[in-house]
Amino acid sequence: MTDGDVTAASAGAGPLSGTLVLDMTRALAGPHAGMMLGDMGARVIKIESPTGDDSRGWGPPFLGEGEDRESTYFMSANRNKESITLDLKDEDDREVMTRLVRRADVLMENFRVGVLARLGFSVEHLHELNPRLVILSITGFGHDGPEATRAGYDQIAQGEAGLMSLTGIDEPTKVGVPIADLLAGMNGAYGAVAALYERERTGRGRVVRTSLIASVVGIHAFQGTRWTVGGEVPGLSGSHHPSIAPYGLFHTATAPIQLSCGSESLWQRFAPALGLDPAEARFATNGDRVAHKDELIALLEGIFAEESAEHWLEVLTDVGVPSGKVRTLDEVYQWDQALSQGLRIEVDHATKGRLALPGPVLRLDDNDYAGARREHIAPPTLGQHNESIRTWLAETEDDTGR
C-alpha cells in the first residue's frame, strides 16, 4: 500500500468521507480551510509548485537543517493532506491537474485575481471539465471592486479592516495570531460545505468567494454596530470590555487574572466578595459602572494587589463569578482540560518522527478523539505523494478520464 493509499484510507471516517478536495492555496487562509475539511474526513490533495508552499520557508523555528528542514509554521495548517508538486506551465503537469479536476468535489485557490485563469484554469474551464466542482476562492480584498488586485497579507488586512483600531492600549496592535487569515479560512470552509450541500439538490457546483477584509469586518460584532447604528467610532479597548464592567484583566500580587461580571446578578455576588457595596451610586448598574469604568478599575486593582492570583481565583469561584488565568502556550498544551478536548494530537511525520500538533476544534457525537478521524495524518513533505497520486489516477480512471 502506498503512502497515498494510507492517507486516502484514513480519510474514510467523518461527514466529508468520500469528498476529494484539491488545495491549491498557499500560506495560511486557504491551507487552514483545507485542513478543516480534512479534519472532517475529506481527502485533501495539496497541489504545490515545485518550490512548495511559501510557508515551508517561514521560520525559525524549523525542525532539521538545510534541505531537510521542515517549517513549524507550515505544520500548523497542513495536517491530514497529501502533497503533489505540479508546474502548471508544464504540459504534462497540466494534464495531471486536469485529471484531478475531473475527479474533485472542491478546488480551493487563493491566487491574486486573474492568476488561475492565466495558468489555463479559469472558472469557466474548470466547470467545463467538471460541472459539479465547488470552487473556493480566497482573496485579500475581494475578487472585484476598486482594490481587488491588491495582495492580501494578514496584518495589512487587520489594519485596513479596522481590527487594529480596536486592539491595544497605547497604539493600534495586531492580534497575536494571523486572525484575518484564519477567519478567511474558516469562512471558506463553511462556504464550501454549504455549496456541497446545495449541490445535492442542484447537481452543480458554484464559486464560493471570501476575503481577508470581509472576514475581519464580519467579526466586528457589537463594535460594528456602535458605529453603524450608534454613530460612535470605537477606539482602543485594551484589556477591558467597552460595554460591560467589570470585565477584563486585573493584576494581583503574583500574576494577572481575568474576570467577567456579565450580569447584574454577578455584580451582586462579586462586590460583597471584595468588600464593596453593590448599590453604591457610581456602580449600581452596568451603565453606571461603564460610565465610571476608570474609577472602578483603579479601585479593583488596589484590592486585587493585596493577595495572590490563586487566592482571588478561589474567591471568585466560590461566589460563581467567571474568572481565569492568563496562560502561556506551554501551559495550554499541558492543561488537562485542553487535552481532554483533543486540542493536542500526535502524528507520525515522514522524516521527523512523532510530533505533537494543535488539534481540531470540532468533536463529533461522544467521540473521545478530535475531529472525525481516530488517527490524523502528519503535514506532508514537499511532493511526498507525487508517485502515489499519479498511480491512483492511472489505476482508477475509467474511459471518460474520471
7 pLDDT exceeds 50? no
pLDDT computed for residue 102 by the predictor:
97
The residue count for the chain: 402
Q: Specify whether the CB–CB gap between 359 and 369 falls below 8 A.
A: no
d(CA 208, CA 357): 29
Residues 306, 253 contacting (CB under 8 angstroms): yes
Calculate mean pLDDT across residues 340-354.
95
CA dist 349 and 271 (Å) reads 53
Q: Taking 70 as the threshold, does the pLDDT of residue 180 lie above it? A: yes
Query: Can you give the pLDDT at residue 178?
Result: 97
Q: Tell me, which fold does domain 247-251+256-325 have in CATH?
A: formyl-coa transferase, domain 3 (3.30.1540)
Measuring CA to CA, which residue among 397, 15, 20 is closest to residue 205?
A: 20
Alpha-carbon distance 75 to 382, whole Å?
12
pLDDT digits (tens, 9 = 90+) for 289-338: 999 999 999 999 999 999 999 999 999 999 999 999 999 999 999 999 99
Mean pLDDT estimate for the chain: 93
Burial class (CB in 10 A: 0-12, 13-18, 19+), 311: middle
How far apart CA 215 and CA 183 sit, in angstroms, is 6
Within a 10 A sphere around the Cβ of 54, how many other Cβ atoms?
15
Cα–Cα distance for residue pair 12/27, rounded to 1 Å? 27
Q: Report in angstroms the alpha-carbon separations of 114 from 54, 107, 111, 148, 346.
A: 20, 16, 8, 10, 39
Instruction: Classify 20 as helix, strand or coil.
Output: strand
Residue among 53, 144, 181, 318 flagged as catalytic: 181
- Residue 371 pLDDT grade (very low, low, confident, very high; cuts 50, 70, 90): low
Q: What confidence tens digit (pLDDT) does each residue in 182-238 have?
A: 999 999 999 999 999 999 999 999 999 999 999 999 999 999 999 999 999 999 999
Distances in Å between the alpha carbon of 2 and those of 8, 81, 96, 320, 373? 10, 14, 19, 55, 20
Strand pairing report for 353-358 and 344-349 = antiparallel
More confident residue, 389 or 7: 389
Active site residue 154: no
Q: Stretch 238-259: mean pLDDT, rounded?
A: 96
- CATH class of domain segment(s) 3-219+337-396: alpha beta
Give the per-residue SS3 of 29-98.
HHHHHHHHHHHCCCEEEEEECCCCCHHHHCCCCEECCHHHCEEHHHHCCCCCCEEEECCCCCHHHHHHHH
pLDDT of the residue at 66: 86
The C-alpha cell at 106 is 472542491
pLDDT of residue 368: 67
Q: What is the maximum span of the chain, computed from C-alpha positions, in angstroms?
A: 81
Backbone dihedral angles phi then psi of residue 225, each to the nearest 5 degrees = -75, -15
- What is residue 225's DSSP assignment? H
Domain ranges of the chain: 3-219+337-396, 247-251+256-325
Percent with pLDDT over 70 in the chain: 95
Least confident of 128-142, 231-245, 355-369: 355-369
Task: Tell me the pTM.
Answer: 0.92
pLDDT of residue 366: 72
